[in-house]
Structure 1
Amino acid sequence: MTAPKIAMIGAGSTVFAKNLLGDILSFPELGGADIRLFDINQERLDVTEQVAHRVATAVGARPTVSATTSREQALDGADFVINMIQVGGYQPATVTDFEVPKQYGLRQTIADTLGIGGIMRALRTVPVLADMSRDMERLCPDALHMNYVNPMAMNVWGLARLSPRIKTVGLCHSVQHTAEELAKDLGIPVEEIDYLCAGINHMAFYLKFEHQGQSLYPRLMELAESGKVPEWNRVRYEMLRRLGYFVTESSEHFSEYVPYFIKRGRDDLIEKFNVPLDEYPRRCVSQIGGWEDLRVKLQNPNEPLEVKRSVEYGSLIIHSMVTGQPRVVYGNVMNSPVQHDGTAGHGKLISNLPDECSVEVPCLVDRQGIQPTRIGRIPPQLAGLMQTNVNVQALTVEALVTGNREHIYHAAMLDPHTSAELDLDQIWALTTDLLAQHGDFIPQELQAAD
């Protein structure tokens, strides 16, 4: 068995890289993998390289590990490309995405998936991913690209339009994390629960959630109606009451995908549903503040290094494609998938969502790669809610593909949360201001007009 060549793009995300490396190298069949670490931050790259060797020692693996600031060198001949970059970083990009909207009265929690923050993140991220994909077309055209970067749906969709030759699957952990949370709420071991989930990233719903053949929805609904739900999860349990199904992404995320919880002049809703405004900046500040202590700990050979399997799908996909062991994972792919030979697929995966959008569905993985499951129709109220998000994604991707700046404004105008807080003049002015503030992080043809 040939050792797989795995390129990790954005490997300076040391903790996430450590977790993925632990997952990969814990498989005996992958212990001799050729690991290529790439980042533009030399200091963080050096730390991850040292951590990679420590992880290998901890699990008894003997990989080949290299670190480089040359993306081409990392990609050359790769079989798998794991992407975990953040274009613009916390400073200046994320700060801009939060602070400028505040000047207009627009408040956010995470701002990386949808909303004005998600739109701006897509505008600065998709072009970088497309540029990387063009490198892949030259250097490793048959590699599987596993994208962990948000905004997931817009990134997957944008790459399908701009670089259809490269096989991309978007990977998230919201499906498996939420299943664990609900199992804990119900007092049932998660491994005993059977579920089927489908939708769009961060707005997929459990179409089936069962224990020993019995639906758990009556118990979840009883919990929702009682009001005795975890205080950090009030938004999602409220949506369960209204829709009849439970959504995969966290309450803080979900609160800004809809117009119901963060509204101008309604701070009572913020308190009632415990919406943590500015949550993502707080996390970033905490992580940045603790980086130096963490770096010292990770590099200290005398400090125990804990390596345990995470719930991420990346290593499972690699293992299944290398060994042929079949597995089911949840992946983000295009709703009308294109075959590996470039021909059209066999109909839509979710029949009552648009042909051209990114969906999150169960996928079989084996030596043949990622094989998405056809779901058919989902409940119409779920499809209708998803469509409000798909509209924003579609217009943002259209702006990126065509270079038509007007579609950025159209995306912001149709965003559920943005339109719940701002009027049209404010939306137009905010969008112009953000494009100007982001400057060269945005493609030149989409930058603010002089």
Structure 2
Amino acid sequence: MSFKIAIIGAGSVGFTKKLFTDILCVPEFQDIEFALTDLSDHNLQMIKAILDRIVAANGLPTKVTATTDRRKALEGARYVISCVRVGGLEAYADDIRIPLKYGIDQCVGDTICAGGILYGQRNIPVILDFCKDIRELAEPGAKFLNYANPMAMNTWAAIEYGKVDTVGLCHGVQHGAEQIAEVLGAKSHGELDYVCSGINHQTWFIDLRLNGHKIGKDELVAAFEAHPVFSQQEKLRIDVLKRFGVYSTESNGHLSEYLPWYRKRPDEITRWIDMSDWIHGETGGYLRYSTETRNWFETEFPQFLEAASKPIDPAKRSNEHASHILEALETNRVYRGHFNVKNNGVITNLPQDAIIESPGFVDRFGINMTSGITLPEACAATCISSINVQRMSVHAAISGDIDLLKLAVLHDPLVGAVSTPEEVWQMVDEMVVAQARWLPQYADAIPAAKERLSKSKVRTRDWAGAARRDVRSIEELRAEKAALKQAV
């Protein structure tokens, strides 16, 4: 087979490498073209060197091109994959830093909450530019695979306003299933059968079967509480399992952002999180991790290049959806996964216009969702709260209506549990002014926001959060990796 895949935001070196090697695990795909594009030519050259080394080491005919000209990369593409972070780590730092001044402590801040909403405001204008280019330049009927957060908002904008065939992809379901398989003592992941449904980062394991045996709440709670690691790292998720009756796909830290009961006071944050790794609830944890990862790639690039000389091992193909979707569409080998699409009746008790994450099957006819799923009422209630915020956020991003943006932030569950309306209004002004260069739709609103900030009497505080850690140096990371290697 011969076709073209364009990857936007390909400067995400590690993730692009994973997608690339996964796709080349499909025997029929070795003669395809990968067109890489990114704003950073430096990052592009790093990832192209790695991918070229993989191609050469495996004796493949695969073509790899790299350009900062996005439209050139999209010409004739059958598939377009996006893994962009608009504004990079600079804007992301503001997503965490500014809300902390108003008492809002986020672990990740890339889905909803103040940070996730502003992230969406930066992304959506760019997503619509991608869609315009896809309509004009890509192969007719090209499919857009969005990996970028905020997943629901980006996918909502691409489908509703970009008018491009779009699916949102995330690995939260797979990671949650791996945890469940481990605590239940499964000998392989294949022994566990499950149905997950909800919205991205709030998806719920509503049916679990191990070798045909249906797993109930009490059995699952006991298994998690008996696990020596997860019982400490996933305290919040286990508590939600006890109260809701089903397990959430999302990490302890991420889930705490959507269920404000666990993150609205510093003493509650420290009670429910675990500091063994960023993902379990650390203040600004993903920002720290992302910063360290970027620095590590820059410094250790020669090692990554050397590792690219190894043969591709199909047995190590990851469970990221992209390669499996492409394989199903092109070869008709059916793939079952969990996909982010417009609801349209898939989940009976969520709004029809929402972007949901739910099971589906892929073959040469496309992605076919399993319809008629009904969530437990508590799961639906938390999802609907987020959906209402997402809908307002998308509409604000499209219209450039700063008042609607403030209402979206005000209705966010964690923000509403922590901040007053006056604080929210000032915080949004501050965030929009700080990120003005990435928010073209709010250009006309910026002068008035600056004027309001100059006269505001709302008090803020200099707060690092309940559980903040400093970014580690390369030397500290090396020492930690060496210690782990020695321990093994």
Give TM-score scaled by structure 1 length: 0.92
Provide the residue aligned with 2:156 in structure 1: 157
Q: 1:326 aligns with which of 317, 320, 334?
A: 334
CA change 1:431–1:137 in 2 (3 A) is same
1:403 paired with 2:400, answer yes
Provide the residue aligned with 1:94 in structure 2: 92
Q: What SS does structure 2 have at the residue aligned with 1:359?
A: strand
Per-residue Cα deviation, 1:367-415 (whole angstroms, up to 9, x for no partner) = 1122222133221121111111111101101112333221111111111
1:292 paired with 2:298, answer yes
Taking only aligned residues, the RMSD between alpha carbons, in angstroms, comes to 1.9
Supply the AA of the counterpart residue of 1:320. Answer: A
Q: 2: CA distance between counterparts of 1:172 and 1:301?
A: 26
Q: 2: CA distance between counterparts of 1:413 and 1:305?
A: 51
Matched ranges for 1:6-405 at <5 A = 6-91=5-90, 93-140=91-138, 141-164=140-163, 166-188=164-186, 189-217=188-216, 218-223=218-223, 229-264=230-265, 266-274=266-274, 275-300=281-306, 308-336=316-344, 348-405=345-402
**1:22, 1:56 within 8 Å by CA — same for their partners in 2?**
no
**1:25, 1:56 within 8 Å by CA — same for their partners in 2?**
no
Greater mean alpha carbon deviation, residues 373-382 or residues 300-309: 300-309
Structure 2 alignment gaps of length 5 or more: 275-280, 449-488
Greater mean alpha carbon deviation, residues 153-162 or residues 214-223: 214-223
**1:87, 1:125 within 8 Å by CA — same for their partners in 2?**
yes
Per-residue Cα deviation, 1:4-60 (whole angstroms, up to 9, x for no partner) = 211111111111011111001111100111111111111111111111122224445
Q: 2: CA distance between counterparts of 1:202 and 1:448?
A: 32
Q: 2: CA distance between counterparts of 1:53 and 1:216?
A: 46
Structure 1 alignment gaps of length 5 or more: 337-347
**2:108, 2:286 within 8 Å by CA — same for their partners in 1?**
yes
How big is the shift at 1:301?
Answer: 7.5
Provide the residue aligned with 2:427 in structure 1: 430
Q: 1:419 aligns with which of 399, 416, 419?
A: 416
Supply the AA of the counterpart residue of 1:177. Answer: H
Paired residue total: 435
Supply the AA of the counterpart residue of 2:354. Answer: C
In percent, how many aligned pairs have the same letter? 33
Q: 2: CA distance between counterparts of 1:117 and 1:230?
A: 29
CA change 1:392–1:268 in 2 (3 A) is closer
Supply the AA of the counterpart residue of 1:323. Answer: T
Supply the AA of the counterpart residue of 2:385. Answer: T
Q: What SS does structure 2 have at the residue aligned with 1:3?
A: coil
Per-residue Cα deviation, 1:52-93 (whole angstroms, up to 9, x for no partner) = 1222244453211111111111111110001111100002x0
How big is the shift at 1:221?
Answer: 2.2
Give TM-score scaled by structure 2 length: 0.85
Q: What SS does structure 1 have at the residue aligned with 2:358?
A: strand
Q: What SS does structure 1 have at the residue aligned with 2:262?
A: coil
**2:125, 2:398 within 8 Å by CA — same for their partners in 1?**
no
CA change 1:60–1:184 in 2 (3 A) is farther
Per-residue Cα deviation, 1:266-308 (whole angstroms, up to 9, x for no partner) = 4144234433222112102211221223312123489757763
CA change 1:22–1:58 in 2 (3 A) is farther
Greater mean alpha carbon deviation, residues 53-62 or residues 4-13: 53-62
Q: What SS does structure 2 have at the residue aligned with 1:448?
A: helix
Q: What SS does structure 1 have at the residue aligned with 2:410?
A: helix
Structure with the higher helix share, 1 or 2: 2
Q: 2: CA distance between counterparts of 1:57 and 1:231?
A: 45
CA change 1:324–1:305 in 2 (3 A) is closer
CA change 1:269–1:445 in 2 (3 A) is closer
Greater mean alpha carbon deviation, residues 60-69 or residues 255-264: 60-69
CA change 1:272–1:17 in 2 (3 A) is closer
